[in-house]
Chains A and B, each alone.
Chain A
Amino acid sequence: GESVGLHLPTLSVQEGDNSIINCAYSNSASDYFIWYKQESGKGPQFIIDIRSNMDKRQGQRVTVLLNKTVKHLSLQIAATQPGDSAVYFCAENMGGQNFVFGPGTRLSVLP
């Protein structure tokens, strides 16, 4: 999930497999993080969040892991389904209500 300029990195997974999407965040002072899903032609949708006093948080079929030492965030999707195909991106926050968004990773689910 690293930025490669104008081209979004793509992760292709087989339906039913687990997906891991990565994000490197920029500011060590960030203490709140969100993962968003964006389907084609739509606005971002909230998936899961995590605060810096945690290193793992689980939701329904999704898990977010936070490694503050290396400023790394990951999103794990269990049993990936065709409906999971979308662009996923992380957002970081250092306080206040403005967020810094990553460029995203395109997840493609293969039948």
Chain B
Amino acid sequence: NAGVTQTPKFQVLKTGQSMTLQCAQDMNHEYMSWYRQDPGMGLRLIHYSVGAGITDQGEVPNGYNVSRSTTEDFPLRLLSAAPSQTSVYFCASSPLGMRSGNTIYFGEGSWLTVV
């Protein structure tokens, strides 16, 4: 039971480069989301999806794109990386309609540095 798998774990990018953070879950969860975590701040929602083909913006969506072509995968794309996007990124999934903390699963995180 893999849960939520994020890749890569660590990445260094140059300003202006693009890249994709991958997120996959094997629990057939409809709801998936991406957060960023910065020092001294809580997790902030970037984008989320309530099912295949449906995505929506969170609190801090600028500079990021997402797509949800399958239930399992929810990649996060940085179009033109900026130093302000240096952060730790977490993907999460949960069943839709269940607002219960013990059904929310987080990945292990992706550490991104933009130089």
The residues of A with any CB-CB pair to B shorter than 8 Å are 3-8, 32, 34, 36, 41-46, 48-49, 89, 91, 93, 95-104
Chain B interface bracket (under 10, 10 to 19, 20 to 34, 35 or more): 20 to 34
Docked-complex contact B101 and A97, CB < 8 angstroms: no
Docked-complex contact B106 and A97, CB < 8 angstroms: no
Docked-complex contact A97 and B99, CB < 8 angstroms: yes
Is B75 positioned at the interface, with any CB of A under 8 Å from its CB? no
CB < 8 Å neighbour of B42 from A43, A93, A95, A100: A100
Instruction: State in angstroms the CA–CA spacing of A96 and B45 once bound together.
Output: 14
Q: Which residues of A contact B41 (CB under 8 A)?
A: 6, 103
Is B79 positioned at the interface, with any CB of A under 8 Å from its CB? no
The residues of B with any CB-CB pair to A shorter than 8 Å are 4, 31, 33, 35, 39-45, 48, 50, 58, 90, 92, 94, 96-97, 99-102, 104, 106-109
Docked-complex contact A7 and B40, CB < 8 angstroms: yes
Min CB–CB distance A37 → chain B (angstroms): 11
Q: Which residues of A contact B101 (CB under 8 A)?
A: 34, 36, 46, 48-49, 91
